[in-house]
Chains A and B, each alone.
Chain A
Amino acid sequence: MSDLSVHIGKLILKNPIMPASGTFGAELTPLLDINRLGALVPKSVTVSARDGNPVPRVCETSGSMINSIGIQSKGIDDYVTHQLPAYRKFSPPLIASISGETIDEFETLAARLDAQPDVAALELNISCPNLRANGQAFGMSAEATAQLVRTVRAITDKTVIVKLTPNVTRIQDIAQAAEHAGADALTVANTFLAMAIDSETRKPRIGNIMGGLSGAAVKPLVVRLIYQVHQATRLPIIGSGGVMNGQDAIEMILAGASAVQVGTATFLQPNAMTTIIDDIDDYLNRHQIEHLTDLIGQVDLS
Chain B
Amino acid sequence: MKLFNAKIIANHPINARYWHMILDASMLDEHVAPGQFFHLQCGDAQQNPLRRPLSVFHYHQASATLEFLYLVKGSGTQQMTQRRPGDYMNLIGPLGRGFTLPEQGALLLIARGVGVATLHALAREARAQNKAVHVLLSARTANDLLTATALAEIGANVYTVTDQEGTSNLEQVRPRLEQLIHAEKIGALYSCGSRRLSKLAQDLAEKYHLKGELATEAHMACGIGDCYACACTIRSHGQLKTARVCSDGPVFPIEQVVIQ
Interface residues of A (CB under 8 A from B): 22-25, 27-28, 30-31, 43, 51-52, 55-60, 62-65, 67, 69, 72, 215-216, 244, 264, 266-271
Contact = CB atoms under 8 A, between A and B. Distances in A.
Contacts of A264: 49
Interface in B149-195: none
6 nearest CB pairs, A to B: A25-B226, A72-B228, A58-B229, A27-B225, A56-B219, A57-B229
24 contacts: A23-B227, A27-B226, A27-B247, A31-B224, A51-B231, A56-B218, A56-B219, A57-B228, A60-B48, A60-B50, A60-B75, A60-B76, A63-B49, A65-B49, A67-B229, A69-B228, A69-B229, A69-B231, A72-B242, A215-B49, A267-B221, A267-B223, A270-B222, A270-B224
Contacts of A216: 46, 49
B92 A270 contact: yes
B51 A268 contact: yes
Contacts of A27: 222, 224-226, 247
B12 to A, nearest CB: 25
Nearest to B45: A268
B46 A23 contact: no
Which secondary structure dominates chain A's binding surface?
A: loop
Nearest to B222: A267
Contacts of A52: 228, 231, 242
B41 interface: yes
A30 B30 CA distance: 13
Given A31-B1, A55-B218, A270-B3, A25 B225 contact: yes
Contacts of B17: none
B41 A268 contact: yes
A22 B45 CA distance: 20
A30 B228 CA distance: 19
Contacts of B45: 244, 268
Contacts of A268: 41, 45, 49-51
B196 interface: no
Contacts of B63: none
Contacts of B92: 31, 270
Contacts of A22: 227
Given A60-B49, A65-B221, A267 B227 contact: yes
Q: Of residues A27, A43, A244, A266, which shows the largest number of chain B Cβ atoms within 10 Å of its Cβ?
A: A27
Contact of A59 (B3, B219, B232, B242): B219
Contacts of B218: 55-56
A28 B224 contact: yes
